[in-house]
Structure 1
Amino acid sequence: MNKKILYVMSMLFFAFVGFIMIPQTAKADIDGVTVTPLIGDSDITDRFQIIGNSKTTRTLKISIANFGVRNLTLKVVPTNATTSMDGKIVYTDKVKAGQYGLKYAFADMTKAQTVKINVGKTKDLSFKIKLPEGKINHLILGGFNIYDVSNFAKGNADVPVWITDDNKSVGGIVTLHNLSLDVISKKPHIIINLQNKEPGIMKNVIVHMTVKRKSWLDRFNLGDKVMTADLTYPKVAPNSRIPVDFDQNTTPIKAGTYTVKGAARSGKATWTFHKTYTITQDQANNINKRCKGLIYNKTTTYILIVCVLVSIIFLIFWAIWYSGRS
């Protein structure tokens, strides 16, 4: 009996050791696909990390396996990390140098590749990373975005690439970038874009933001209500926007002047914002015509109709009174 127990415990031990020695795969949402960064002898197995001088070339290798039920054509695209609306670091946007204070774009250091992988097959891809000539201040957070060419919306995988000269941590600075409009799931959205303009990852960024459209109806308390957002972003990518979303649901976008106020806090640092933006009628129409199920508020129309009727009645009574004096 003791021998059987010893045997079982030995098998469990070796199985555990074998499990922890298997290279970790990157996050993959494509059905049947696993993506593994071939790191080599490093304690970090979920990303590539380049620490070194500029003007050098490094080679990175990625292994992609297809365990699904159909042959796939995948595209592997280099880009920089961005911040999603729910406070996650993602690699799905095309990022260019100069955006949000970004000095170097990862897309300029290597080229995208397209690979065909049949069912049950594995392919290894090599990427030559040409580091920029200038000094790399703090952190460039790049990565490879991998998706199915035939169905981009079906999911993606990403492999982060951290590039730094000094490997020193740095905080971030939050500023107000702009106001933008978008259509998401056939509904209009007003998005206030903050930005982390520093080359460092931020954590637990708390944002309070209000947006108010100015109107002459405000003096009668009949204007548009103040929209409020209270959000926490667990992680914010370096040199990236921080989107604060105001979902309008069935309310169409209105042209006019919007006042944006708010504050962001991370640790002991706090930043405040106050600015006005203008949405033109053409911008509003462009968004609204792409949405469905919008309900238009006709309060202004009704008030104007009432004013016109009151004016007409006043003129009628004035005319009767004036003719009676004649």
Structure 2
Amino acid sequence: MTFFKTIKYCLTIVFMVTLISICDRAYADGMGYSVQAVIPENQIDQSKTYFDLKMTPGQTQNIELEIKSSSEETLNLAVVPYIGTTNQNGELEYSVEPEKNDSTLVYPITRLISGQQKVTLKPKETKRVTFTLKMPKKAFEGKIVGGFNVYDEANDATNESKSKKNDVQIKNVFSVVIGIQLRENLDKIKPELKLNTVKASLFNYRTAITANIQNIKSDFVKDLAVTAKIRKNGSSKVLYEAEKTEMAMAPNSNFNFPISLENQELAAGSYDLEIVAHSNEDEWAFTKKFTISDEEAARLNEEAVELEHETSNKLIWIISLAVGLITILLLVIFFLVWRRRK
């Protein structure tokens, strides 16, 4: 099997004003600019430097970002709003466009905010960028979250390099993200998780079982810990297990929790998955049956890297056994010859 030809690895240096940020301004280190949220009067906590806005149904409001150049060159920046999601590592993500919005996300923030903008900054120049925010006419409970991603267009276009060694493609995107959170009241929402599809997959090009965990409520799930165990149908023996703590999920989002097979081949068959998730005082327990087909196992095993093939392990075991038997036979023959001569 050939080594994978192309890995697109996005190295994103994000200096993000998060919900617990104490910084006044977000900097793109070495990129020559900084970004600051211009805090409006309806900010829930004026000491915070991300947008945390108290809104009303149907409200229209302009919000501003202040971008300051520290560069000696002209900068061409893009300012792009994104929805808040949860990435495959169980981390909050504000700079990636999902292939598909979560099924429970009624109001993606990108539908409420005017579209992306281009900004040209002369050396040492400061500009304000204005976005128009229009709330849904119908009242909602919980939080609508996202972020403004600010990056240099020249960097995005040209910082895609290919390493000749191993034919690996690396893309570097340096950016700043300013968070935004919208709510119409301060009522607390009890979190609720759901287990969706369980299937054989590849995680970082290695064999795994992924379990899709969904936050179906419009609030964050914090301090999330997940333990997962996989068994053959009807068996009590645990074949694979995984545990991860200190994760978080964005409102109305989902991610694929991976259970690594430790570079072992996927085997066709029927399995049981058991998952227990904790977040502060809340706990969820799920069980789900799933099946891996012969075709699915063969395809994923072919695409996986650093796979320990079962046939190779058996061959090594057979050779080792044969060498051992031959060694014992030679010792017996030597002993018998030695006794006869004596």
* TM-score between both structures, scaled by the size of structure 2: 0.67
1:238 paired with 2:238, answer no
CA RMSD, aligned part only?
A: 3.6
1:83 paired with 2:60, answer no
* TM-score between both structures, scaled by the size of structure 1: 0.70
Instruction: Give the 5 Å matches for 1:1-326.
Output: 24-26=24-26, 28=28, 31-40=31-40, 43-67=46-70, 72-95=75-98, 99-110=102-113, 111-117=115-121, 120-148=124-152, 149-150=156-157, 151=159, 153-179=172-198, 183=202, 185-212=204-231, 226-248=239-261, 250-281=263-294, 283-284=296-297, 287-298=300-311
Q: CA deviation at 1:258?
A: 3.6
Asked if 1 retains the 8 angstrom alpha-carbon contact of 2:60 and 2:134, the reply is yes
SS in 1 for 2:172: helix
In 1, distance between residues paired with 2:208 and 2:124? 43
SS in 2 for 1:92: coil
Q: CA deviation at 1:209?
A: 0.9
Asked if 1 retains the 8 angstrom alpha-carbon contact of 2:92 and 2:248, the reply is yes
Per-residue deviation, residues 66-107 of structure 1 (Å, max 9, x unmatched): 445776544333222122455432213325886152111111
In 2, distance between residues paired with 1:140 and 1:31? 30
- May I ask how many residue pairs the two structures share in their alignment? 276
Distance 1:190 1:34, change over 3 A: farther
What letter matches 1:76 in structure 2? V
In 2, distance between residues paired with 1:167 and 1:232? 28
In 1, distance between residues paired with 2:301 and 2:73? 39
More helix per residue = 1
Q: CA deviation at 1:30?
A: 7.3
Distance 1:122 1:169, change over 3 A: same
Q: CA deviation at 1:176?
A: 0.7
SS in 1 for 2:106: coil
Distance 1:212 1:234, change over 3 A: same
More strand per residue = 2
Distance 1:243 1:65, change over 3 A: farther
What letter matches 1:273 in structure 2? F
Gaps of 5+ in 2: 1-21, 160-170, 319-342
